[in-house]
Amino acid sequence: EVQLVESGGGLVQAGGSLRLSCAASGFSFDDYAIGWFRQAPGKEREGVACFSSRDGSPYLLDSVKGRFTISSDNAKNTVYLQMNSLKPEDTAVYYCAADPFMGWDPCPDFELYDYWGQGTQVTVSS
Reported as a single tens digit per residue, the pLDDT across 80-106 is 999 999 999 999 999 999 999 888 899
Respond yes or no on whether the N-terminal peptide bond of residue 108 is cis (omega within 30° of 0): yes
Is pLDDT above 90 for 62?
Answer: yes
Q: What is the DSSP string of 32-91?
A: EEEEEEEE-TTS--EEEEEE-TTT--EEE-GGGTTTEEEEEETTTTEEEEEE-S--GGG-
pLDDT of residue 56: 87
